[in-house]
Chains A and B, each alone.
Chain A
Amino acid sequence: MSGFGYAVDTFAAWLAGGEPGWLAVSVAVLAVWVLPLMLLVFPVAALGQILERKIAAAIQRRVGPNSAGLDGPLRFGFRLMLFFLPRERQDRVFKAFCNFPPVRSILLVSRRLGLGQLAADGIKMLGKEDIVPAGADGMVFRLAPYLALAGAFLPFCVVPFGQHLVMLETEVSALFAVAVSGIVVVALKMAGWGSGSKWSLLGGMRAVAQLVSYEIPIGLAVGGAVLWSGSMDLHAIVGQQYEPGVFSLLGWNALQTPFLAVLMVVFFVAGLAECQRSPFDMAEAESELVSGFNTEYSGLRWGLFAMAEYTEMLLVGALLATLFLGGYQSPIGEEWICSLAPWLEVPIHVALLGAKVVAVYLLMMWIRWTLPRYRVDQVMRLAWLVLVPLCLVSLFGIALTLLAAGGTEPGEPFGRVAARPRAALGWLGHLVGWAIPVAVGAWLVVMAKKKHGQVHPALQRLTGGRS
């Protein structure tokens, strides 16, 4: 049992004063896990919007938000705290506080970073009218954003944040994460259908077509990691990547065979599509569909959709890190970190997972402001004709590698997995396992270049002779 399972049980028992009923357990789960998780995930997701604006600005040779600092919220806070004073006195105290050098520099930095934009945007969104269009299916329309956010948030409860930090320990948590994030498909369809608008409907249709298609490469990529790790439990998958010694990152799945590395890339690309992020944002293609499934949404409901998008980006980052990049583990000296006291070890592990997630987050933003949008048919072709074959080949390769390592035994369901094809392969096996696929791949690429030259004829036809 994880530490948090214990905490939940204890808290529930304390609440109920004896054997906890379902209500006490629900309250305990909410208080002990969901609330901290929300406090951890949602602010990061919200900060992502500022980060995205800054990055977009930097890529486009702009400055980005640089005026709204924390002065406004701070002044508001002072007004609340000093309500008993007249307004001029409040302002005088506020000014004195702001002129205090460290505070002044913090405010200046916050202004340069545009941090106040977060509060400003939030207040703006709260102030907007909540419109339900006349032709909308009210219930479906209202429910959709909550469902989208739930679908993006729920899989976090199986993501291990630390050695004992898993909300929900199941033997099938990888399956759970993939399945539950599928709720988003339904939510987008509901939003598209319920809006009673052709733009929304078209956007919803596209979103569903895209999401359903990309579930398959995602499933196959997760399957590859599961196959290698011998467990469907994300916690066990992370535990299996543990490597004692200095270079802990040698145990990470992505470095085991080139096939797993390919699967990681596939997972990332398909995850990008699952988030409806550019270049896969054809479901909300502004130039064609106004805003796609969220065309008719305003105010807080629209904000929930935006939040769901950023939360899902975090989720893709967390799952990617968990499945392929050692989860919460450190790239070096993991053994040493594990030996630390819990109060030190837990924050370090959470921060390490956070760093990996943020790295994926930044990569996604970088891609968004670089690549143009795919056409509908191109999106489908990428999923079915590129990613799925890549996945199948990689799965086959992983199976072969496992066979060469003398087969696999089912791992233990929780904690550190004992059966490790890694150990069976040894360093020589790893070397050969990398050398053969890489050599074959390189040979194929050289052959392809030799045969088709600079530009593939089909591509030439498509672009009218221009490369």
Chain B
Amino acid sequence: MILAWIHDVVEAVQSCVTGMRTTGRFLVENLKGEGGGAAVTRQYPEQPAEVVGDRQRGHLVNDTKRCIVCHACDTACPVDCFKMDGERDADNKMRASRFDIDLSKCIYCGLCVRACPTDSLSMTATFEMAPQHDGKRFLFRRNSKQVDVRLDLHDVERLERLVAMPRSGLSDADRAWLDERIDERGQHLIGMYGLGYYTPEMKAEADAQREAKKKAKDAAAAAAKAKAAAAAAAAGPTPARPAAPAPPSAPASPAPTPPPPAPKAAPDTTGGTP
């Protein structure tokens, strides 16, 4: 029995030492940065991520040259993220005059791509949608007042390529093309997938509208508060004084600004400039 006990203890010590030796080797190799224990972490924002494969479901892109506005994608979409309008072009072919994909709804399931009869919808291998830490890549703003500057698939590719290149290495044409797509904050705003951006005038307009809305809301809140206070005073024990009339409620809501010009993107142009 004593021997069995000793055997147990020796076994335990041996197995502990074996384990500790393994992790110790990893520890040393990791600190040295070489061998089997070296860190396998990819420092993502600094080191570009590897594309997973050609079946990666990254961005959803519509090639408006081929789109026939058949609504097959709309039907297939489980989250209803498409908004599209069509019009007849000179050849009496159906073309998209508006094709919006609400990326805040999209779940990247790829059903629309399967449903598309003309293969105009496709998913790219890129997946980096957030603004990057150097503030250069993308900025997405979703608003009903968006201007429909959109890029076709080859424009997206071009932009991706140009942004990745050092600026000094760009040709003049490329630089000009790129500059057209830089807003006042120095960010490339890509109108692809229906996510557009404001022109400066439209931005001012939208800001003013938002401001007015906020003011109206504040005024309404103040009015409600005053009313409640008045009511409380009226309900008090000495209702001798008539409650002061509540201040006029919210100023007239600002006249709705005219909607943005209807999208007129011709099928094979890449949209206007800001």
Q: Does A62 contact B (CB under 8 A)?
A: yes
Interfacial residues of chain A within 384-433, with CB under 8 A of chain B in the complex: 385-386, 389-390
Query: CA separation between A61 and B36, bound complex, in Å?
Result: 8
B39 within 8 A of A: yes
- Of A55, A63, A385, A455, the contact of B27 (CB 8 Å cutoff): A55
B51 → chain A closest CB, angstroms:
22
Which residues of B in the span 10-53 have a Cβ within 8 Å of any Cβ on A?
A: 10-12, 16, 19-20, 22-24, 26-27, 30-31, 37-41, 43
Binding stretch for chain B, among A68-76, A216-224, A340-348, A363-371: A363-371
Q: Which of A131-139, A146-154, A444-452 contacts B (4 or more CB under 8 A)?
A: A444-452
Decide yes or no whether B176 CB sits under 8 A from chain A. no
Say which one of B1-9, B187-195, B265-273 lies at the interface with A: B1-9
Tell me whether B31 and A58 are in contact (CB under 8 A): yes
For residue A172, CB closer than 8 A to chain B, the reply is no
How far apart sit A447 and B4, CA to CA, in the bound complex (Å)?
A: 10
Question: Is B30 within 8 A of A370, CB to CB?
Answer: no
Given contacts A58-B30, A61-B40, A370-B19, contact A452 B3 (CB under 8 A): yes
Are B40 and A449 neighbours in the complex by a CB distance under 8 Å? no
Interface residues on B, range: 20 to 34
Contacting residue for A371 out of B10, B19, B40, CB 8 A: B19
Q: Is the CB of A58 within 8 A of B41?
A: no
A58→B7 contact, CB < 8 A: no
Q: Are A449 and B7 in contact, with the CB atoms below 8 A?
A: yes
Most B CB contacts (10 A, CB to CB) among A370, A447, A457 go to A370
Q: B138 to nearest A CB, angstroms? A: 22
Main secondary structure of the interface of B (DSSP, over half): helix
The answer, among B10, B24, B26, B37, for a CB contact under 8 Å with A448, is B10
Is A30 an interface residue, CB under 8 A from the partner?
A: no
- Bitwise interface map of A from 353 to 384 toward B, beta carbon under 8 Å scored 1, else 0: 00000000000001101110000000000000
Candidates B12, B20, B41; contact of A63 at CB < 8 Å: B41
CB distance from B92 to the nearest CB of A (A): 58
| CB-contacts of A427-467 with B (<8 A) | 444-445, 447-449, 451-452, 455-459
Cα distance A459–B2 in the bound complex, in angstroms? 15
Contact check, A63 vs B31: say whether CB atoms are below 8 A apart.
Answer: no
Q: Does A57 contact B (CB under 8 A)?
A: yes
Hey, which chain A residues are within 8 Å of B11, CB to CB? 455-456, 459
Whether the pair A63, B39 counts as a contact (CB closer than 8 A) is yes
A452 surroundings in chain B (CB, below 8 A) = 3-4, 7
Give complex CA distance A59, B37 in Å: 7
Report the nearest A residue to B19, measured CB to CB. Answer: A370
The reply to whether A370 and B7 contact each other, CB–CB distance below 8 Å, is no
| Residue contact B23 to A448, C-beta cutoff 8 Å | no
The answer to whether B3 touches A61 (Cβ under 8 A) is: no
Closest B-chain residue to A452, C-beta based?
B7
- Chain B residues near A59 (CB, 8 Å)? 23, 26-27, 30, 37
CB pair B3–A447 under 8 Å, yes or no, is: yes
Q: In whole Å, how far is A70's beta carbon from the nearest beta carbon of chain B?
A: 19
Residues of B near A458 (CB, < 8 A) are 4, 8
Contacts of B5 in A (CB 8 A): 385-386, 389
Indicate the member of A58, A62, A369 with the most B CB atoms within 10 Å.
A58
Give Cα A65 to B114, complex, Å: 43
User: Is A451's CB under 8 angstroms from B30's CB?
Assistant: no
B6 touches A445 (CB 8 A): yes
Q: Does A61 contact B26, Cβ atoms closer than 8 Å?
A: yes
Which residue, of A371, A448, A452, has the highest number of chain B Cβ atoms within 10 A?
A448
Complex interface: chain B residues within 8 A of A371 (CB): 16, 19-20
Task: Show 10 A/B contacts (Cβ-Cβ < 8 Å), sorted by A.
Answer: A58-B31, A59-B26, A66-B43, A369-B23, A370-B19, A385-B5, A444-B2, A445-B6, A451-B3, A451-B4
Q: Given known contacts A370-B16, A390-B9, A458-B8, what 6 new A-B pairs fall within 8 Å (CB)?
A: A385-B5, A389-B5, A448-B6, A448-B10, A456-B8, A459-B8
